[in-house]
Amino acid sequence: MANELPTKGTTRRSILGKGAFATGAALAVAGMPNYRAFAQDTAAEGRIKQILDRGKVLIGTGSTNPPWHFEDENGKLVGFDIEMSKILAGGLFGLDQAQILSDEEPRKYIEFVVHEADARIPDLLSDKVDINFQFMTVTANRGLQVGFTIPYYREGVTLLLPADSEYNSLADLQGKGANIAILANVTAEDMIHRGVPDANVEQFDSVAASVEALDSGRVDATGIDLSSGQWLIAQNPGVYKTTPEGWDAQTYAASVKPGDQVWLNFVNVVLHEAMVGLDFPLYQQAFKTYFATDLTPPPTGFPIEFK
């Protein structure tokens, strides 16, 4: 028979039963109960049930840090953290990819709570928010206070250069006594010297001022967060480039109140499948929009996250 796959004298149909050649997605749709009923049965009085009963997920974020979370010209919150929020809302309320990409549909199920960075943990612990998407760096100390999800971005330091610069890499800059700008802080000089040991470091009171120094030709490069460098490239095509190397890596993850493993597991599933699964187009589009980077779709076969 055309649908049979013989194996040692038997068939795949006889092993797996009728309908074995339906796709996993089709089986899930046919065999799973209503997603809200399932969540309520498994989470009891947990966070997921609270969110579904409320009809909105409360998401803590900021409004002044592009490309992560900021207001566009119409005063609407946008940014990579906002895109992650929309993907989560889509997973919670059964939206398909087209609905999530429509932008307005997932926002119906989100209430953004805009707060300062120092309010992220207190607002979680006092239940003012269900989750934070606010470029939060994972540390051991914070891990004692909140539950961190799997990472959704790896931040680090890179060098921003004019697009027509003769330098293209850290190796090109080393041994040249290059002048490199960076936002002033107590670790700034050591940070730059970990990438370019002989650099002359100039510190500025804002990232904007350090970029202006680059634009004016006062410095050869500017030390900057990888995400900020990618954002500047996205907003100014043909003006800037970054070195391919980065250093001083740090993890960005969402954070939840400890104690509800079902909720944490669910968020991890949503993020994982956005980064390496069926919802990859959503993550890919967000990455392209805010980081000017075309992500390669994850390979099939052996799971890439275990390589």
For 199-244, the pLDDT digits (tens) are 999 999 999 999 999 999 999 999 999 999 999 999 999 999 999 9
pTM (predicted TM-score): 0.83
Q: Are 179 and 47 part of one and the same domain?
A: no
Q: Does residue 135 sit in the same domain as residue 284?
A: yes
pLDDT in tens, 55-85: 999 999 999 999 999 999 999 999 999 999 9
Among the candidates 235, 250, 265, a domain finishes at 250
Q: What is the CATH number of the domain that holds 219?
A: 3.40.190.10
Strands (E), 163-244: 179-183, 200-204, 221-225, 240-242
**DSSP codes, 140-184:** HHHHTTSEEEEEEEEEEEEEEEETT-S--SHHHHTTTT-EEEEE-
Please state the domain count of the chain. 2
- Residue 61 domain boundaries: 35-146+257-306
**Does 190 have pLDDT greater than 70?**
yes
- Same domain, yes or no: 169 and 210: yes
**Boundary-marking domain end, from 226, 250, 274:** 250
Give the amino acid at 140: A
How far is the C-alpha of 70 from the C-alpha of 46, rounded, in Å?
31
Region 84-92: mean pLDDT is 98
Interacting residues of 94 by C-beta distance below 8 A, sequence separation 6+: 35, 36
121 plus 190 within the same structural domain: no
6 located within any domain: no
The pLDDT score that the predictor gives to residue 111 is 98
